[in-house]
Amino acid sequence: MEYALEINKLSKDYGDFRLRGVTFALPKGHIMGLIGPNGAGKTTIIKLILNLIRRDGGEIRIFGGDNLAREVEIKSRIGFVHDTPYFFEHLTLTTIARTVAPYYPGWDERLFARLLDEFDLPPKKRFVKLSRGMKMKFALAVALSHKADLLILDEPTSGLDPVFRRDLLGRLSAFIQDEGKAVLFSTHITSDLERIADFITFIREGEVVFSAPKDEILGAWAVVKGGPELLAPDLRPIFKAVRKREFVVQALAADAAETRRRLGGSAVIEKATLEDIMFYLSKGNGHA
Amino acid sequence: MLKTCRKDYLAVRWFWLGSAVLYLLYVIQPLASSLLLMAFGMMLVLADLMIPLFIEDKDKTEILFASLPTSRKDIVRGRHLMAGFLLAGGVLLIFGSAAGIKKIFSAPSYQKSLSPLLTVEGVAGFLIAAGLLTASYLPLYHRLGLGRGNMVFFMGGLALLGAAAGLERLASKTLNLIPPLFTADFLKDPGQGLIGRIGAARTEMGTPLFVAATAALLAALFWISARLSTRFYRRREF
């Protein structure tokens, strides 16, 4: 399998926060969702990929090349959207594009103009006058205007209305129809990922909890609801996280089939959504 | 490198134009001495260099441009190239306007204040002083960022000036080791005094060698500044 992005044992130490041994790979022609609670390290990983911060260890390879050794060549193949779009506030959208376009050999002015039109962005409007959603749309238009092969999007759907969000997801799906392209998509809106992602990487406290195909995750993980009998010591190993209420115990299991076999009809077992997984792994008393 | 210059130009061209107009309004005052014109011109070049950095800091666009397909080294070199362009622009504006005003207005005050400026040593003095300022400022900016960099630059500059004046007084008046550097004439028209000293060097070296030495000094200043800045900026995290 050919990979657009390979991250191997990546580490970064901020003192009060550490990214430890982060390893995952995004194959070409696929979309990967990067999920995790606030402060888990998602943005740190994206900043390391773009060389905005220095790594303390590990390796990042993009289209087979080291992201530092071949920085300029690799970055010309990346389209990015940061969690907050940073552009010159006092400039018009067309002037901003003139500041960015020369950096990209593949910049397509006609495509950019078309995207502004499709995204309802007035070219002569100053960036400062745009709403947060419109700023995000503009950042997306810039990211999509230079025929990038890898899109790295950090919370791109935050602030977007549902109509445009759906439209964007459609565009991303169309983007990877070209088998050579890929998307890394960090978000809290897990329903977006359930719609389009092929792979999910879950980060918690600077470590990868899992990185696997989405269908495999949604097929295997389950939410179990039952009484205090679920707290029995022999059952604890099958649960990744447990939440106790007064009369109800809810647990997250990574192997739905094994859980069904062990519990039979003594508990309610439901398919877990990505939000369930994120919620339980972030808030539950985990013992994975 | 040129891409960095281009985006700075697009971002702040109107601010630069405004600062040039302000300068021109200032220079038509008959009281302006050659030193004040030079000092104001140096501040103008420095301020014009700082404006894009200030706007980048305000809008946090360093994150954007560091994410684009360019290296930190190229960003730093671009900023130094821009400093070079601003110096050249400063020379054109300051000496061009001085020449124009001297020609248009015949008042003796203009003639007296502008004459020492419009010489080879006047241009060289301006370039060396403004070059030294910008070449000192950029490494501090790349090491400490805008806020702390500016504070250290201005506080450090004041401290150095104070120390230089103190040392000169100690060496010339107390210990009688050297003749006084800051004489009454110097204070009366420091521009002429400074330019006079540079002019002596020109007479001794001859104009071609003097011009070459000035260019070499500027090139060395910017080379050291760019090397230091690149080393610092590579470590910067966003």
* pLDDT one-digit tens code per residue, A41-95: 999 999 999 999 999 999 999 999 999 999 999 999 999 999 889 999 999 999 9
Do B67 and A75 count as a contact with CB atoms less than 8 A apart? Answer: yes
Residue whose C-alpha is closest to residue A229's, from A249, A259, A252: A249
Q: What pTM value is reported for the model?
A: 0.86
Do A87 and B71 count as a contact with CB atoms less than 8 A apart? Answer: no
**Residue A106 sits at the chain B interface (C-beta within 8 Å):** no
Q: Where are the domains of chain B?
A: 2-159+185-235
Its sign, for the CA torsion A243, A244, A247, A252, is positive
Q: And the tokens for A104? A: 């990209």
Do A50 and B60 count as a contact with CB atoms less than 8 A apart? Answer: no
Residues from chain B contacting residue A90 (CB–CB below 8 Å): 55
Do A103 and B70 count as a contact with CB atoms less than 8 A apart? Answer: yes
Residues from chain B contacting residue A71 (CB–CB below 8 Å): 69, 71
In the prediction, which pLDDT does B97 show? Answer: 86
Residue of B3, B11, B237 with shortest CB distance to A52: B237
Q: Which residue has the tokens 């700023």?
A: A135
Q: Which of A31-40, A52-61, B127-136, B189-198 has the lowest mean pLDDT?
A: B189-198
Burial of B89 (0-12, 13-18, 19+ CB in 10 A): middle
Distance from CA of A183 to the nearest CA of B (A): 17
Confidence of residue A104 (pLDDT cuts 50, 70, 90): very high
Mutate to test the interface with A, among B51, B58, B64 (most CBs of A within 10 A): B64
Mean pLDDT of chain A: 90
Under 8 Å CB-to-CB from B30, ≥6 apart: which residues? B105, B107, B109, B110, B113
Distance from CA of A2 to the nearest CA of B (A): 23
pLDDT beyond 70 at B194: no
The chain A residue lying nearest B56, using CA atoms, is: A88
What is the mean pLDDT of the segment spanning A147-174?
A: 88
In the prediction, which pLDDT does B125 show? Answer: 86
Distance from CA of A5 to the nearest CA of B (A): 17
Residues from chain B contacting residue A54 (CB–CB below 8 Å): 235, 237
In the prediction, which pLDDT does A190 show? Answer: 87
What is the mean pLDDT of the segment spanning A266-274?
A: 88
Domains of chain A: 3-216 (3.40.50.300), 221-283 (3.30.70)
pLDDT beyond 70 at A260: yes
Window 38-77 of A: residues touching B by CB (8 A cutoff) are 47, 50-54, 71-76
Q: Which of A229-233, B64-68, B126-130, B180-184 has the lowest mean pLDDT?
A: B180-184
Distance from CA of B127 to the nearest CA of A (A): 29
- What interhelical angle do B190-205 and B34-59 show, nearest 10? 100
A194: region left, alpha or beta (phi > 0 left; psi from -120 to 50 alpha): alpha
Q: What is the pLDDT of residues B104-149, one digit of tens each?
A: 877 777 777 777 778 888 888 889 989 999 999 999 999 999 999 9
In the prediction, which pLDDT does A243 show? Answer: 86
pLDDT beyond 70 at A177: yes
Angle at CA of residue A80, ends A77 and A86, nearest 5°:
135
State the Cα–Cα distance between residues B119 and B122, nearest whole angstrom. Answer: 5
What is the mean pLDDT of the segment spanning A227-236?
A: 82
Q: And the tokens for A214? A: 């989405």
Do B235 and A95 count as a contact with CB atoms less than 8 A apart? Answer: no
Pairwise pLDDT comparison (A18 vs B25), residue with the higher score: A18
What is the mean pLDDT of the segment spanning A123-135?
A: 93
In the prediction, which pLDDT does A284 show? Answer: 59
Distance from CA of A69 to the nearest CA of B (A): 11
What is the mean pLDDT of the segment spanning A249-261?
A: 88
Between A and B, how many CB-CB pairs are < 8 A? 67
* β-bridge mates for residue A81, sequence order: A153
Q: What is the pLDDT of residues B145-188, one digit of tens each?
A: 999 999 999 999 899 888 888 887 888 778 877 766 665 555 44
In the prediction, which pLDDT does A152 show? Answer: 96
Do A86 and B60 count as a contact with CB atoms less than 8 A apart? Answer: yes
Residues from chain A contacting residue B59 (CB–CB below 8 Å): 86-89
pLDDT beyond 60 at A286: no
In the prediction, which pLDDT does B162 show? Answer: 87
Q: How far is CA A9 from CA A6, A66, A161, in A?
A: 10, 14, 37
Percent of the residues in chain B that have a pLDDT greater than 90, as a whole number: 52
What is the mean pLDDT of the segment spanning B75-102?
A: 92
Enter the ipTM.
0.87
**Residue A112 sits at the chain B interface (C-beta within 8 Å):** no
Residues from chain B contacting residue A49 (CB–CB below 8 Å): none
Residue of A53, A76, A103 with shortest CB distance to B237: A53
C-beta atoms surrounding A164 within 10 Å: 18
